[in-house]
Amino acid sequence: MEGGKLIVFSAPSGSGKTTIVRHLLEQPELNLAFSVSATSRPRRIREKHGEHYYFMSINEFKQHIKKEDFLEWEEVYRDNFYGTLKTEVERLWAEGKNVIFDIDVAGGLRIKKKFPEVTLAVFVKPPSVDELKIRLKKRSTESDEKINMRIAKASVELATAPQFDKIIKNYDLDTALNEAHQLVADFVGAKKPDSK
């Protein structure tokens, strides 16, 4: 496998990584394409297959594991598998794109380990675990039990931050967006739109 650069954004749920990734995808000079992950978790309302995730049954997911179709995969919660299909990255590289990922911490570090030369791994740090809880509750997409699971996992994930290339503290969204843009632009060698 060879092609463009890989940009990984990982963080505990509710840290703002998805907002940052969406913002970066809107910057044409970065030449980014989003790597859609595969998952065995149930589809939420308004989620589209092939756009938000490739939704699969647990069996289907396990077949792909057996066939070594994933660059990385993880059982994030019991029977909730997430992974990056090799074909997804190959497809985006064939389009001449740099690939951006919004994935869990373990998956992000695996991609960095597999492709150290072409990967920028960024950890998005929330102001605090309490702030995370507030953000997750505001989303209103999950039960209190699920939120508590995510919070418990966040403490473990925060401990992995030093293993990433860069840490962005998302205390103020505009600052975090600017910092992320600068990091990615430098990494992919993009000129800012206003520079000659």
Task: Supply the pLDDT for residue 57.
Answer: 97
Mean pLDDT of all residues in 110-131: 92
* Least confident residue range of 34-38, 145-149, 170-174: 145-149
156: buried, middle or exposed (CB in 10 Å: 19+, 13-18, 0-12)? Answer: exposed
Mean pLDDT of all residues in 46-58: 95
CATH of 6-187, one of 1.10.3720.10, 3.40.50.800, 3.40.50.300, 3.40.630.30: 3.40.50.300
How far is CA 170 from each of CA 3, 28, 173, 177, 180, rounded to the nearest angstrom? 30, 23, 6, 9, 10
* Model confidence pLDDT, tens digit, residues 122-162: 999 988 888 888 877 887 777 888 888 888 888 889 999 99
Mean pLDDT of all residues in 101-122: 95
Task: Supply the pLDDT for residue 3.
Answer: 77
| Partners of 6 in the β-ladder | 99, 119
Q: Where are the domains of the chain?
A: 6-187
CB 24 within 8 A of CB 30: yes
104's CB contacts (< 8 A; 6+ apart) are 10, 74, 76, 82, 157
Give yes or no for residue 1 having a pLDDT over 90. no
Q: What percent of the chain has pLDDT over 90?
A: 72
- Cα angle at 23 between 9 and 170, to 5 degrees? 55
The pair of structure tokens assigned to 195 is 């520079």
Q: Give the pTM.
A: 0.87
Q: What is the Rg, in whole angstroms, of the alpha carbon atoms belonging to the chain?
A: 16
DSSP 8-state secondary structure symbol assigned to residue 37: P
CB 126 within 8 A of CB 13: no
Name the 3-class secondary structure at 169: strand
Give yes or no for residue 105 having a pLDDT over 70. yes
